[in-house]
Structure formats: C-alpha cells, structure tokens
A and B are shown apart, each in its own frame.
Chain A
C-alpha cells in the first residue's frame, strides 16, 4: 500500500501540468461545494436565530380561539392565563384597528407587548422610555408603507371590549429594523398595559411567547406551539435551496471528475508497458488496479490541500464580511438577513472531503478495471489497444 502510494505520487508529479490542471479543477469544485454549503448553513442558522429572536422565542402559547392564519379569530381569540401559570411567558395581545394616514383608511393589527420583556429582540424599552401618551413602534417596512418617521403622530381608531369606538393619536417612538417581516408588515406595537387600558381587556393575551425556562404542559384553553413546529416551514425552504444548490455543485464536480476519468483512460493506454512490468515483477493485477486507482484518488487529496491553500483565506474572509443579500428575498416569508455570514462546520468540511475523495476514487477505478483483463505479455510489449 505504501509502495503504491509513493509510486502514485511520483507518477502524478511526473505528469506536471496535466496533474495540476486536474487538481486545480477538482480543488475548485471542492471549494465551491464548501462555500455553497457554508452559505446555506449560514443562512439557515441566521434565519433560525432571527426568527427565534424576533418572533418565535421558545415557542408560543396560543389562546385556543386564536388561529394565526385566520385574521377574524383575533376578535375573540384571547383570554386570561392565571398569574401563577405565567412564569417564563410574555403576553402579547392582538387587536384590529384602523389608522388614517393622509386621509386614507388602513386596517392594522395592534399588538400589545410587555415593555419589560426580554424574550424577543423587539426594542420594547424604547416604548417605556417615551413620554408620549400612546407610544408606538413599527418596523421599517410598515414605516415605509405608511410613510412614517420617528416622532410622527398618527390617528388610530379602535374599539374597546364592548365595541365602543375610541380614537387617539399615537406617537411613533421607535422604528426597528428586523429581518423578520412577520413582526413588521401591517402591525403597530404598543405597550400592553396601554392596550389593556384602551380596550378594557385587563390581563388578556392572544398568545404568550415562551422564554428559555418554559416547560410546556397542558393548560385548558391554551395550545402550545413549539419552536420546532414553527421552524418547520423555514427548514423546508432551506432544504429546497440545498437541493437546488447541490445540483449545481454536483455538475461542477462531475466536470472535474470527467478530467480525472480522461486522464486515467490515457494513462492506462500509454502505460501498458509499465503495467506489464509491474505484473511481471510479481504484482497481482488487482494490485496494479489498486495502484492506478490510488493515483486517481490522490488527485482528490492534492485537490483538498490546494483547495485549502486558497480556500481557507477565502472562507475566512467571507465568514467575516458576509454576503449581501438583496432586499426582495426578505419578503418571501422567510427571514433573510441583509448580509449572510457563511458558516463552515467540521461536519460540512469532512463530508465534502469524503464526497470528493470517494467520487474521484470511483472514476479512477472504472477505467483501471480494464487492467485486470489485460494479458501481461501483450501489455509488456505495448501491443494492447
């Protein structure tokens, strides 16, 4: 084995330019695969992190009457959870309301949130710091859609629990920038105490956001939706990107393997005499097959080394500066940051190396099988076609 390794190495180095071309292309495929998978992993981690930080927390405990997909259920889907059940839970109350920017009538979802909460990254402290009568915060998308800026006042009309109209100006105390459109589009956040007072729904919540220490258990009238369930759709999208991407890099890998295949076919053709010599020196045919296969496989080792030489600085650079993502991707219903930082895990790198090594071993082996059928005498004479 050691011998065939050394021989393979010598042969490759001897071939010069041809070897380096093969190695170059294979290393290229290697780097692109790692880069792409790192990008997807980075996106995945970012999207999960952001969704958890801004929206999901460690799960939601929803009033049984509330269905996030049914806007009409906001009306009655709320209730009071006994105080002693509220550990590690932060209440959010939803109400339908209407705002009137520039004489237009725009329906919005009014969301009351505990200003002292720290489960979600929403800057609720900005609300408690405001001196306005009804301080409100909106995301950048909502601010853009209503043409609002910080300090603006806006007429809000809502109904209290008995259906009596009420209306007042709210003051935009903060505009936050998030990658999670689901906490931004069409909604206005205000302190929950304020909303309780405005609607008379003291202590009510539409759902609670759980923090790390929450232990889900059966509570009558409430349904728990775990973080994992909520991350499912995200996982699907990531997975589809992964499949799409893998088609691309497998094509790239295929072309690199094609080069190795071609090289192998030629070496076996050109080096018949060498093959004959090995056999006449006492190597079994399969040992020779092994030698040639090792040569092919060695491309992948060299490619890994070469790939590392220029890939590692590139990966480090990318992981630090990130890759800018266009704005439109953020409206897909999945959170996509403005910049994605690729993440290169050990598993990803090792599995990529294994993929490259195994596939190059296979394409090296395929033409080398021919050796096993060679007649050594003819081979020694170089008479095989």
Chain B
C-alpha cells in the first residue's frame, strides 16, 4: 500500500512536488531561524565567554574577589597539576589558562634608548599550543591588521594604533615593563609579530597579546595563571552541565579555608549574565513559538491546497466505486508520506545551513561603518538538539492536518456533481 502511494507521489508531480518543496522550505526556515536566534541572542554571552568568563572559570578565591584589579599576586598556583586533573576528568572540554596583566610597552631606538612608551593591557593566552583554539576563540586572525599570530616564544601582538604612532614595524623589538606576581619590576624583550585592531580604543592602543608561557616566565608565575577557563565542546554553553561541574569541583575544596584555593564559577554567575541568559532563552523561545506557529499555519494551508488540487482525481476515484473512507485514508497516508519526505529533507537542509552558520557565520562587519571586533560582527547560528524536531513535528502535523481538513470535502461530494466536474 505504502509502496503504491510512494510510487503515486513520485510519479504525480502535482501531488508531490510543490507540497514537498513548500514543506522542505518551511521546515528548513524554521530550523534555521531557531538556530540563528539562539546564536544571535547568545552573542553577548558568547562574547563574554570567549573574552572573559569561559563557560566555567577557575580563579583563586582571593583573585576572584578583586578580579577587576588583575591581582596576579593572588593568582592560582599549581596550575599544571590542576589542569591535568581537569583534562583527565573532563576530556570532552577544552581547558586553557590565561593571564591578564598591565604594564608599559617601551620602544627602543637603534641605540637602545627609549623612543616611546605607552600603557599596555596585556593578555596571555595559549597561542602556541596546538590543542588550544584560543587564537580562533579570540578572533585574533580577523583582528590582525598586519603580520601573523605569534608562533614562537618571544613574539607579541600589539595594538595597531600604538604601532602606527611609534612607527613600529613587524619584526621590531619592544620591551615590556611590568611587575611580576611578587611585585618586582620585570623587563622582557619581544619581537612584534603582528598588529591588531579590536575596534576598542583601549585595546587598539594598548593591546599586548603574548603566549601564556612567555607571560608565566616574565611575570614570575611558573605554574601559575590568573584564570583557567573551561569550554564545552562545540563552544556551546550548557548551564545544567556547568552547574553540575561547578558544584562538584567546588565541593573538593569546601573543607579548606585557604584563600588561594581554586574556585570555579560558571558563566551564568559572572558579569551579571544570569539575567541576560534567562532573557535570551525567553526571547528566543518566544520567537521560535511565533515562527513555528506561523509555519504551521502555512503548511496547514499547503495541506489544504494539496487536497484541493486533487478534487478531480477524487471525483474519478469515487466514480470508479472507491469507498469514500478509503480515498480519505489514502489522502492522509499520502500526506504523512509527503510530510515526512518534506520534513526530513527540510530538517537536513536546515541543520546543514545552521551548521554552516555556526561554523562560518555571516560577517556583517562590512555593513558597519566602523566595525569593532570586540563587538561580534559575525552573526553565528547555534546547532542544538531541539532543532531535530522543532521543524519536523510541525512540518508533518500541519501538513497532515491541512489534508485532513480539505479531505473532508470527499464526504460532502455528491455523485451527481462528480460528472459535472469530469466534463471536458
């Protein structure tokens, strides 16, 4: 029976093609929009996660209390052991260490005398590690104005405004002056490997990005780091998981009152993000409901139309003596098959499009007159499991429902009228 129906659907383009296309497009759009909304609403959160909070962040208790002042004297120590155990216990997550620090950049002339100085807002991340995705995460490649991402010790990225002002070229030496974890003054020479532009004047002037290993040596923080950030796979924040993780991690240190014991914070607890996350969830849910509703109406209509297209065929079948119930049932069966085909294809295309948008995104930087890299200029979608059914279910049901409604006409049909319709 099903085979017969499928054959019919495949052979009769009228019956199948347009409805399948419409359902496919509808389902695809729904999925894409949901994924897009989740991504777009999450951009602030995402940006925070990338630059500051991670999905979870570990700091020493004392550091956490004064984190605005970048108190590296209170930083975590024994970071390697800690990270190793984190990696062992949560191999699905990416764990990275970062150090934020302040200081001065001093640019020497040929004789080694100071040519110019400027404040530096330093950020040390795992640039050289092949396992880390930090450079990507911080969008450094796109922020490069010239040069390349540092690939070996002793190289640094600096803000392009500062570089322009002092006429610093790629490969030029600079000296960083700052204070170590212990408060000693520290000097370190770096070679400029690139200049970056984040679109925020503080960063464009003072950005100083180096590898974390260089920073550890320079700031006398061997085996230390200001913060350890954890990222879930696919860079998608999951609050339930983060909460579980945070609770179990902090439980290990509940007994100690050491002010330098590590403490884990989930994204939601940081930077007032809780309110925003809830808000984003609610807003995107609202929009998805609106959209799914709209699409259901459209597909319902498609179902109605699909039934209408075939009034003549029904007339003939009834005239040939097929029972009304049978005609109706086959109509519904067909609707189910068409609905499934359309929804499956739509879901696949929708997921593919969402995946593409999650991976590459749409760069709206060009549409902005003065794009800022700190502000997300690439709009990205987010692939979540609910996308699997969010389009599929309404796609199928709205279609079937529409057919059911229009199919009622089969029962209303008078045999006498049939022949009138058959007239050619």
Residues of A within 8 A of B (CB): 17-18, 21-22, 24-25, 28-29, 32, 68-72, 104, 106-107, 145, 186, 232-233, 235-237, 239-240, 243-244, 247-248, 251-252, 254-256, 258-259, 262-263, 265-266, 269-270, 324-333, 381-383, 385
Contact = CB atoms under 8 A, between A and B. Distances in A.
A110 B259 CA distance: 31
B119 A71 contact: yes
Nearest to B25: A258
Given A252-B291, A258-B25, A239 B367 contact: yes
8 contacts: A17-B304, A18-B301, A32-B287, A70-B118, A70-B119, A239-B369, A256-B294, A328-B272
A282 B210 CA distance: 79
B375 A251 contact: no
A43 to B, nearest CB: 13
Contacts of B22: 258, 262
Contact of B202 (A32, A69, A263, A270): A69
B143 interface: no
Residue of A21, A186, A383 with most chain B CB atoms under a 10 A cut-off? A21
B68 to A, nearest CB: 7
Nearest to A330: B272
B395 to A, nearest CB: 12
B273 interface: yes
A270 B309 contact: yes
B424 A25 contact: no
B263 to A, nearest CB: 18
Contact of B273 (A28, A328, A383): A328
A190 B396 CA distance: 66
A306 to B, nearest CB: 13
Contacts, number: 154
B36 A106 contact: no
Contact of B364 (A71, A107, A244): A244
A102 B226 CA distance: 23
Contacts of B202: 69
A295 to B, nearest CB: 15
A13 to B, nearest CB: 16
Contacts of B333: none
A202 B276 CA distance: 45
B37 interface: yes
B271 interface: yes
Q: Name the residue among A232, A259, A327 with the largest chain B CB count within 10 angstroms.
A: A259
A240 B273 CA distance: 20
Contact of A237 (B40, B295, B375): B375
Contacts of B48: 328
B85 interface: no
Given A21-B297, A252-B294, A258-B26, 11 more contacts: A17-B405, A70-B119, A235-B369, A236-B372, A240-B375, A247-B362, A255-B291, A256-B294, A262-B18, A262-B301, A326-B275
B44 A259 contact: no
A243 B29 contact: no
A72 B364 CA distance: 35
Interface in B36-62: 36-37, 40, 43-45, 48
B371 interface: yes
Contacts of A145: 68
A328 B276 contact: yes
A251 B201 contact: no
Contacts of B279: 324-326
A240 B377 CA distance: 7
B376 interface: yes
A17 B160 CA distance: 62
B185 interface: no
Nearest to A244: B40
A44 to B, nearest CB: 14
Q: What 7 pairs between A and B have smallest CB-CB spacing?
A: A326-B275, A328-B276, A69-B201, A326-B276, A326-B279, A259-B298, A328-B272
Contact of B33 (A240, A252, A265): A252
A66 B376 CA distance: 29
Contact of A385 (B14, B29, B293, B297): B14
Interface string B153-187: 00000000000000000000000000000000000
Nearest to A267: B305
Interface string B265-286: 0000001111111111000000
B207 to A, nearest CB: 12
Contacts of A255: 25-26, 29-30, 291, 294-295, 298
A269 B309 contact: yes
Contacts of B278: 326
Contacts of A330: 272
Contacts of B355: none
A239 B36 CA distance: 18
Contacts of A21: 297-298, 300-301, 304
Contacts of B290: 28, 32, 252
Contacts of B43: 244
B327 interface: no
A214 B36 CA distance: 46
A381 B424 contact: yes
Given A258-B25, A331-B272, A248 B375 contact: no
Nearest to B299: A259
Interface in B304-350: 304-305, 308-309
A327 B205 contact: no
A22 B18 CA distance: 17
B301 A263 contact: yes
B205 A240 contact: no
Contact of A247 (B66, B271, B291, B379): B379
Contact of B272 (A71, A107, A265, A327): A327
B370 interface: yes
Contacts of B206: 69-70
